[in-house]
Amino acid sequence: MGGTPVFPGTRVPVQTLLDYIEADDSIDEFLKGFPSVTRAMVVAFLEHATSLAVHEAA
């Protein structure tokens, strides 16, 4: 995947989750479509992204 960030242990790009969110799809819908990604992985990614955004804004 040449540098594209993916969920650990998968080939699922994190951008796919962001696309789902942008389209107003739920996290549950995303998880149904990508069973190799766990809810814990999604939560960890969102927490990390939030932390980066908060630190960048400060």
Task: Give pLDDT tens digits for 28-40.
Answer: 999 999 999 999 9
Cα–Cα distance for residue pair 51/39, rounded to 1 Å: 18
Residue 28 in domain: yes
| 25 touches 13 (CB < 8 A) | no
What is the 8-class DSSP label of residue 10? S
Q: Please state the length of the chain.
A: 58
What's the pLDDT at 1?
A: 52
| Inside any domain, residue 6 | no
pTM of the model: 0.88
**Residue 7 forms part of a structural domain:** no
Residue 55: predicted pLDDT: 87
pLDDT for res 2: 72
Chain segment 11-34, per-residue pLDDT in tens:
999 999 999 999 999 999 999 999
Residue 44 confidence (pLDDT) above 70: yes
Residue 41 structural domain: 14-57
Q: How many domains does the chain have?
A: 1
Q: DSSP class of residue 6?
A: B
Is the residue at 9 inside a domain?
A: no
**Spatial CA neighbour of 1 closest among 18, 13, 14:** 13
Please report whether residue 49 resides in a domain. yes
